[in-house]
Copies of this chain bind each other. A is one copy, B any other.
Amino acid sequence: MSEESQNEENEQLHKQFQRVITLLNKYKLLQGFVNMQHDATKALNESSIQKENLDELQRLVDSLHPADIADLLESLPLEDRLMVWRLVSPEYDGEVLLEASDAVRETLITDMGSQELVAAAGQLDADEIADLAPDLPQNIIEDVFRALPIEEREQLREAMSYPEDAVGALMDFDVITVREDVRLEVVLRYLRRLEELPDHTDKLFVVDRYEHLKGVLLINQILVSDPEIRVDEVMVKEMIALRPDDKAQDAADAFERYDLVSASIIDRDKKLLGRVTVNTVIDFIRDKAENEVLNLAGLQEEEDLFAPVLRSVKNRWIWLAINLVTAFVASRVIGLFEDSIEKLVALAALMPIIAGIGGNSGNQTITMIVRALALDQIKTGSAWKLMSKEIGVSIVNGLLWGAVVGLFTFAIYHNIELGLVMMLAMLLNLLLAALLGVLIPLTLRKLGRDPALGSSVMITAVTDSGGFFIFLSLATLFLL
Tell me which residues across on chain B come within 8 A of A347, comparing CB atoms: 348
State whether B293 touches A296 (Cβ < 8 A).
yes
Enumerate A317-364 residues with CB–CB distance to B below 8 Å: 317, 319-320, 323-324, 327-328, 330-332, 334-335, 338, 341-342, 345-353, 355-357, 360-361, 363-364
Tell me which residues across on chain B come within 8 A of A254, comparing CB atoms: 6
Task: Tell me if A34 is interfacial: C-beta within 8 Å of chain B.
Answer: no
Task: Tell me if A408 is interfacial: C-beta within 8 Å of chain B.
Answer: yes
Tell me which residues across on chain B come within 8 A of A296, comparing CB atoms: 293, 296, 367
State whether B305 touches A250 (Cβ < 8 A).
no
C-alpha gap A242/B289 in the complex (Å): 25
Closest to A278 in B: B278
Closest to A17 in B: B379
- Chain A contact surface mostly: helix
Task: Tell me if A201 is interfacial: C-beta within 8 Å of chain B.
Answer: yes
State whether B223 touches A352 (Cβ < 8 A).
no
C-alpha gap A144/B10 in the complex (Å): 38
State whether A345 touches B338 (Cβ < 8 A).
yes
State whether A368 touches B220 (Cβ < 8 A).
no
C-alpha gap A324/B372 in the complex (Å): 27
How many subunits of this chain does the assembly comprise?
2
**A67 in complex: contacting residue of B188, B243, B258, B346, CB < 8 Å:** B258
State whether B352 touches A464 (Cβ < 8 A).
yes
State whether A77 touches B306 (Cβ < 8 A).
no
Task: Tell me if A32 is interfacial: C-beta within 8 Å of chain B.
Answer: no
Enumerate A368-385 residues with CB–CB distance to B below 8 Å: 368, 371-372, 375-382, 385
Task: Tell me if A47 is interfacial: C-beta within 8 Å of chain B.
Answer: no
Task: Tell me if A425 is interfacial: C-beta within 8 Å of chain B.
Answer: no
Segment with Cβ contacts to B, from A109-117, A150-158, A279-287: A279-287
Give chain B nearest CB distance to A312 CB in angstroms. 5
Tell me which residues across on chain B come within 8 A of A167, comparing CB atoms: 6
C-alpha gap A174/B344 in the complex (Å): 72
Q: With contacts A261-B200, A328-B408, A352-B334 known, is A223 near B377, CB below 8 A?
A: no
C-alpha gap A7/B366 in the complex (Å): 27
Tell me which residues across on chain B come within 8 A of A255, comparing CB atoms: 282
Closest to A205 in B: B1
C-alpha gap A242/B10 in the complex (Å): 11
Tell me which residues across on chain B come within 8 A of A290, comparing CB atoms: 371
State whether A297 touches B367 (Cβ < 8 A).
yes
Tell me which residues across on chain B come within 8 A of A9, comparing CB atoms: 240
Task: Tell me if A195 is interfacial: C-beta within 8 Å of chain B.
Answer: yes
Please list 5 pairs of residues, one from A and one from B, whose beta carbons are closer than 8 Å in the complex, sorted by A's number: A6-B240, A200-B202, A202-B202, A282-B285, A331-B349
Query: What are the 10 A-B residue pairs with the smallest beta carbon separation, nearest first?
Result: A289-B289, A297-B367, A5-B243, A348-B348, A309-B392, A259-B279, A334-B349, A75-B377, A2-B241, A197-B220
